[in-house]
């Protein structure tokens, strides 16, 4: 297993649309293991392959308190969304230190494949529903800050660029 470098907003590669996985094979299973290790180490509750510069429809999620409920979503699709919405404060491993409120469907139904290529379907609400919607946005080339005002987006970009300059000076 290996830790994978996480792309940082506003990297243009975060806006690439992920392609479906044709075959769930050892390469995909290794990617899933590496993504899970990267997510747990970061630490985060979700990671899309897009965030590690692999543009295939693969997501790992674990919203448990003790990292005991890893969910692998390959070629995931949201098949239903409730009309009811909820507002959650979201953060993102690709936008470190930035948190803001985003409105999303309160409940969803998801289907896809697991790391063994088996079909699954589940319903989610609360943090899991938010996380699934957030990660599937990544697969479509969208970062959560794009739900925010243009002014907030520009402030976030400026803050990240400043941090990157400071990091480069330390090296």
The model's pLDDT over 42-59, given as tens digits with 9 standing for 90+, comes to 999 999 999 999 999 999
Quick check: is 163 in a domain? yes
135 in catalytic set: yes
Quick check: is 5 in a domain? no
Place of tokens 């390959």: 74
Taking only the tens place, the pLDDT of each residue in 134-169 is 999 999 999 999 999 999 999 998 988 888 888 888
Which pLDDT does position 80 carry in this prediction? 98
- Residue 66 CB-half CA count within 13 A: 1
Q: Is the pTM of this model over 0.85?
A: yes
Instruction: Tell whether 134 is in a known binding site.
Output: yes
Quick check: is 7 in a domain? no
Structural contact between residues 70 and 114, judged by C-beta atoms closer than 8 angstroms: no
Quick check: is 3 in a domain? no
What is the number of structural domains in the chain?
Answer: 1
3-state secondary structure 80-135: EECCCEEEEEEEECCEEEEEEEEEEECEEEEEEECCCCCEEEEEEEHHHHHHHHHH
Q: Is the pLDDT of residue 1 over 80?
A: no
Which pLDDT does position 168 carry in this prediction? 86
Quick check: is 2 in a domain? no
- Of 65, 84, 135, 164, which residue is the catalytic one? 135
Quick check: is 99 in a domain? yes
User: 46-48 and 58-61: which strand pairing?
Assistant: antiparallel
Domain that holds residue 131: 12-170
Structural contact between residues 16 and 55, judged by C-beta atoms closer than 8 angstroms: yes
What's the CATH number where 144 sits? 3.90.45.10
């Amino acid at each position: 297993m290996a830790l994978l470098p996480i792309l940082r907003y506003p990297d243009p590669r975060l806006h690439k649309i992920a392609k479906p996985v044709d075959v769930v094979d050892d390469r995909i299973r290794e990617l899933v293991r590496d993504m899970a290790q990267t997510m747990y180490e970061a630490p985060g509750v979700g990671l899309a392959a897009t965030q590690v510069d692999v543009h295939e429809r693969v997501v790992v999620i674990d919203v448990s308190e003790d990292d005991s409920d890893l969910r692998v979503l390959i070629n995931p699709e949201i098949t239903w969304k409730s009309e009811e919405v909820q507002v959650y404060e979201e953060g993102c491993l690709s936008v470190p230190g930035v948190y803001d409120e985003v409105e999303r469907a309160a409940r969803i139904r998801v289907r896809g494949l697991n790391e063994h290529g088996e079909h699954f379907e589940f319903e989610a609400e609360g943090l899991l529903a938010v996380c699934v919607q957030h990660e599937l946005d990544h697969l479509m080339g969208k970062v959560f800050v794009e739900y925010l005002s243009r002014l907030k987006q520009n402030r976030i970009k400026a803050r990240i660029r400043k941090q990157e300059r400071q990091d480069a000076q330390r090296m």
